[in-house]
Amino acid sequence: MIARLPRLLVLGTGGTIAGSAQSATGGSYAAGELRLDQLLNDLSGLGLEAELVAKPIAQIGSQDMGWDVWDVLHREILAALNDSQMDGILVTHGTDTAEETAYLLDLTLPADKPVVLVGAMRPAGAVGADGMRNFANAVRVASDPDACGRGPLLVMGDAVFAAKDVRKAATSNIDAFKGYPRGPIARVTPSTLDWFGGATRVGEPARYGWPETPPRVAILTAGAGMDAKPVEALLGIGCKGIVLAGMGQGNAPGCVLDALSEAVKSGVPVVRSARVDEGLVDRNVEVDDDRYGFVAGRALGPAKARVLLMVLIANGITDATAIQAAFDRG
Ligand code: SIN
């Protein structure tokens, strides 16, 4: 039971939630322009029932998110998890790659305090800006002890998603996020929070070690009429793993599958995911994974499949059976 206000560390990275519009109705803006203290200052009149401790990490659009910022984020969150005075962690983040950051943290952090990512689809000053609402909702989630043991969460609108389910499914709709195979795991407003099930990871340690030397893993999108040259190019630049964003259930032209199979034989794991918006990619349905040596990406889309494959390779897990087990678990 927390007798004082919940104390939340707010790590700022930029994104549209820190963007400012030139005009309330114009379309153009730059992400990551507002400093974290300006953002929190704008939020100070909302009467949020939490003590917020601000720490800016970066001020970028999340298209530029990568290992340098991820390293700092991971270190800061670990420190906050070990700080008995800190009750939860909020990360302001661009929406474009929030799912990758959330899932990377999900794989590499213990699940014992709330870690909540939050973004916005409209910058401050734009008509219908959603940043303040989303942030107020995220504060409520990060303040709730029931948010522990669920891994990192993403709050967008009134929906709370688990890291491994969530993906951005629309370019500009306010309601841009979807979850698969689960939809939102809770609904939140600034004054209410309803979980749709219990936490399953209470006390769970980090699943994988932090990748000190992240391997190069590429996503190859299949297209009708393509040839195998892109596979050769990826191997030529030293890819240590390839994620196929395949057609339908993760398929590709025969010549591409053959080239990918050669990559597997040379020690480069290949994971089949789908370029389709959602659905499972299962083993040996249309593609003979046993014969080709491929891994089926199951519920993970290409972006998150790449994150998992990078983490696995960095942890020395390169055998197709072991990689498949990790993807089956998700
Ligand atoms: C970004 O991802 O940084 C830009 C888009 C957004 O935050 O919605």
Ligand 1 centroid from CA 102, angstroms: 14
Ligand 1 centroid from CA 123, angstroms: 9
Radius of gyration (C-alpha) of the chain in whole angstroms? 20
Tell me what pLDDT residue 242 has: 99
* Residue 90 maps to a domain: yes
Q: Do both 320 and 171 map to the same domain?
A: no
Q: Do both 224 and 189 map to the same domain?
A: no
Q: What span, in angstroms and rounded, lies between the C-alpha atoms of 1 and 90?
A: 20
Tokens of 207: 């699943």
Q: Do both 261 and 131 map to the same domain?
A: no
For the chain, list residues with pLDDT below 70. 1-2
Q: How far apart are the first and last CA of the chain?
A: 32
Q: Do both 24 and 173 map to the same domain?
A: yes
Q: Do both 98 and 161 map to the same domain?
A: yes
pLDDT for 193-203, tens place per residue? 999 999 999 99
Question: Which residue out of 13, 16, 95, 108 is catalytically annotated?
Answer: 16
Tokens of 60: 């970028």
* Residue 191 maps to a domain: yes
pTM of the model: 0.97
The residue count of the chain comes to 330
Q: Do both 169 and 56 map to the same domain?
A: yes
* Residue 206 maps to a domain: no
Chosen domain end from 165, 195, 225: 195
Q: Do both 189 and 221 map to the same domain?
A: no
- Please check whether residue 184 is in contact with residue 161, taking contact to mean a CB–CB distance below 8 angstroms: yes
Ligand 1 centroid from CA 316, angstroms: 33
Host domain of residue 34: 7-195
Ligand 1 centroid from CA 135, angstroms: 15
Residues with CB under 6 A from ligand 1: 15-16, 31, 61-62, 94-96, 119, 121
DSSP code at position 182: S
Residue 39 to residues 60, 138, 173, 323: CA-CA distances in angstroms? Answer: 14, 14, 22, 41
Tell me what pLDDT residue 3 has: 76
Mutational pocket test of ligand 1: of 63, 69, 155, 171, the residue with most ligand atoms within 8 Å of the beta carbon? 63
> Does the annotation count 213 as an active-site position?
no
Cis peptide before 6 (omega within 30 of 0): no
Tell me what pLDDT residue 1 has: 53
Split into its structural domains, the chain has a count of 2
What is the CATH classification number for the domain harbouring 321? 3.40.50.40
* Residue 122 maps to a domain: yes
H-state helical runs in 109-225: 131-142
Q: What span, in angstroms and rounded, lies between the C-alpha atoms of 84 and 203?
A: 15
Tell me what pLDDT residue 165 has: 98
